[in-house]
Structure 1
Amino acid sequence: MSNSTTLDYLFDTAQIQLRRGPLFDKPPDPMPGDLDFDRVAGMMLGLAIGDALGNTTEGMLPQKRRQVYGEVRDYLPNPYARNAAVGLPSDDTQLAFWTLEQMIVDRGFNPERVAARFAQGRVFGIGSTVQRFLYNYQAGRPWYRCGPRSAGNGALMRIAPMLIPHLPSGTTALWVDTALSAMMTHNDSGSIAACLAFIAMLWHLLSMSRPPEPYWWIETYVSVARELELDEHYRPRGGIFQEEYEGPIWRFVEEKVPAAYRRGLSVVEACQEWLSGAFLLETVPSVLFILMRHGEDPEEAMVRAVNDTVDNDTIGAIVGAAMGALHGKAGIPERWRTHLVGRTSEGDDGKVFALLEEARAIWGNRTNGHAEEG
């Protein structure tokens, strides 16, 4: 069964928590034939670096983190590297690069095989929703019935590589594969819509010659997500909007993030208002606000993500992917790239870089917007 047929079946049987919006009938804009694959490599390295910069202080309140470490601008000593100050992965990097690795093997996205790959290795710092996915999968459920209905950020953090096999063709299969990948671990409309919106944003960023205007981030996210999210009733877990908001993520983004930007809030101030944990009603506004404020400066954007949020490795990874797609590999500080170990599991140092070269060889050679024939 093709992925498109699978998705149609899941929509027809109401097994995917998503509205079938017009996005699924609209191919993405063609990618320029001269696309530099270093932009794609930058996207994936930005994800890994954001994760690595953040995961040594993940979960700390920004004020406490600053008291203990000052401003984090480089990798901190890591006990898993004999206290060397190098970049090591957590689950964000692992699941993203395991997805890419399996797509390299299969020459595209095979959801059953990606699900099996997720179940094969030890996941560092695994989230509760992915744990439940793995439990369901190992209990013998089909992959599309394993993802809990959770609006955590564990699918969004790993979604970036889904666009890579589609670079040569740019068809609606991009949206099909992204939706299936997203619902695999998080079958929730807020999460799946966020993944599709973020892939749409990354697709545009890869071909941009300059940073977009600040409101582009909000407009692009909302224009995609509002057509896909169901009539959800998410409520903030804390912060100043706890008693006043109930509804979908896209509407919270549309109402609250531009307002915070117009008020001139800093990242830490804005994120205190809506919180910055693993709940997508916190993660998505935090990511988009950072990109609005600092999208022209990849180093500052990633530093703010790592210092000014609570779930800082995942927010750093998502911001890093966007910054790498927009500014390319060279736009990410060299010291961060040099000291990234490149692991995806225990002891496979350099694997991240090897996978990116394999992906370049398969999907990076383009003539007039199409892959060269082998």
Structure 2
Amino acid sequence: MSASRALLLKLVENRVLRLHWSPLFDEPAPFAPDSVDFDRVCGMLLGLCIGDALGNTSEGMLPKHRFLAHGEIRDYLPNRYAEGKPVGLPSDDTQLAFWTLEHLTDHTALEPEALARLFASRQIFGIGGTVREFVRRSQAGLPWFEATVESAGNGALMRIAPVVVPHLRQAGSDFWADAALCGALTHNDFASISACVAFSGILGELLVAPQPPSPQWWIEAYVSRARSLEGETRYKPRGGALAGRYDGSLWRFIAERVPAALAMERDVLEACDEWYSGAYLLETVPSVLYVLSRHAHDPEEAIVRAVNDTKDNDTIAAIVGAAVGALHGEMALPKRWREGLLGRTSASDDGRIFQLLDATKSVFASGPTAI
């Protein structure tokens, strides 16, 4: 048994991590070794950055208030951190995702304790309460599996995409264990860890998908993996029309509510308003899957709908952007968005994300995708 799987099994068996062991951890990655075109990997990672950058200047606004302030957002808004220029700048979504990528490239594999130290050593923009507490515990000297916080927020899911990258060559079962460990680093919660594993599997399948999947596929791909990992948990809506009307697992909420909204042909705004589309996973995950079910065939429209029609729009657009980027590749993302992205991971490191993408390609691309 590999080091990643052995560590995960130990932490699950000792009930340190809030996750159920599953036969999924014995399965290979959802792609064959050396089968992924690196343009799709770049699309996945740039899509994440672009979605984040398009959304973070209006993050947290109710869609109706955002529309009154900005109209429909289809380009970067003027940013006070760039002298009012309309350029793409990062929030914590991009920072934590690309610091994960940096770590994976430097170490060629996931080392949770080293990644925890990296997160705890840098300034995080717009840091959420869960990650703030994780950083406090890490800086106090706790090991990562004691510093992690019980939280069903979306702060782990938003940064999970890079965990796919080290597995491109060998595509073994460590893929799933690393997704669980990487997600659990900051958020020790059944819904969060299972969502990170399930969405990593979705990204892996999208990287080799020959065409956009059906609307129902997104729901089945998520639920089929998350069900056994999350188990029969209990989460309640905190807002929207469903407040007080559901008490159960995240995977079951997805299985029931997203198909129902699709059957009623609701637009993204209406559907996401029902479950509130905030930073709680019972809001974020159905919003992501609904946007993708409706619009994954059109990467620009998928990201635009995530940016305009949801409340926690930078994170939802970042996750949607990663998915459509993996499905369609870098060149399918609008040129104006790619060129307007400054590429920062901190206050002034312009171009850093592009440097990291080049470094990642040199380390992990092989076969027909090698340079």
Name the TM-score class by shorter chain: over 0.9
Aligned residue for 1:228, secondary structure, equals helix
Q: Tell me how far apart the structure 1 counterparts of residues 118 and 49 of structure 2 sit (CA, whole Å).
A: 19
What root-mean-square deviation, in Å, do the aligned CA atoms of Structure 1 and Structure 2 show? 1.4
Aligned to 1:221: 222
Q: Is the 8 A contact 2:17 2:184 kept in 1?
A: yes
How do 1:35-50 and structure 2 match up within 5 A? 35-50=36-51
Q: What is the CA distance between 1:302 and its match in structure 2?
A: 0.2
Q: Is the 8 A contact 2:31 2:204 kept in 1?
A: no
How do 1:294-305 and structure 2 match up within 5 A? 294-305=295-306
Aligned to 1:95: 96
TM-score where L is the length of structure 1: 0.97
Residue type at the aligned position of 1:48: C
Q: What is the CA distance between 1:22 and its match in structure 2?
A: 1.3
Question: What do residues 146-195 of structure 1 show as CA deviations (whole Å, max 9, x unaligned)?
Answer: 11110000000000000100000111111111111111100001000000
Residue type at the aligned position of 1:247: G
Aligned to 2:329: 328
Residue type at the aligned position of 2:265: G
Q: Is the 8 A contact 1:115 1:184 kept in 2?
A: yes
How do 1:1-374 and structure 2 match up within 5 A? 2-31=3-32, 33-366=34-367
Q: Tell me how far apart the structure 1 counterparts of residues 320 and 35 of structure 2 sit (CA, whole Å).
A: 25
Residue type at the aligned position of 2:304: V
Aligned residue for 1:237, secondary structure, equals coil
Q: Tell me how far apart the structure 2 counterparts of residues 127 and 313 of structure 1 sit (CA, whole Å).
A: 13
Residues 1:359 and 1:252: Cα distance change in structure 2 (over 3 Å): same
Identity of aligned residues (%): 54
Q: What is the CA distance between 1:35 and its match in structure 2?
A: 2.6
The count of corresponding residues between Structure 1 and Structure 2 is 370
Q: What is the CA distance between 1:334 and its match in structure 2?
A: 0.4
Q: Tell me how far apart the structure 1 counterparts of residues 157 and 40 of structure 2 sit (CA, whole Å).
A: 20
Residue type at the aligned position of 2:322: A
Q: Tell me how far apart the structure 2 counterparts of residues 32 and 135 of structure 1 sit (CA, whole Å).
A: 39
Residue type at the aligned position of 2:29: P
Show structure 2 runs of 5+ residues with no match.
none
Q: What is the CA distance between 1:7 and its match in structure 2?
A: 1.1
Question: What do residues 286-317 of structure 1 show as CA deviations (whole Å, max 9, x unaligned)?
Answer: 00000011010000000000000000000000
Of 239-248 and 188-197, deviating more is 239-248
Q: What is the CA distance between 1:34 and its match in structure 2?
A: 4.9
Residues 1:214 and 1:102: Cα distance change in structure 2 (over 3 Å): same
Of 189-198 and 225-234, deviating more is 225-234
Aligned residue for 2:84, secondary structure, equals coil
Q: What is the CA distance between 1:3 and its match in structure 2?
A: 2.2
Q: Is the 8 A contact 1:32 1:207 kept in 2?
A: no
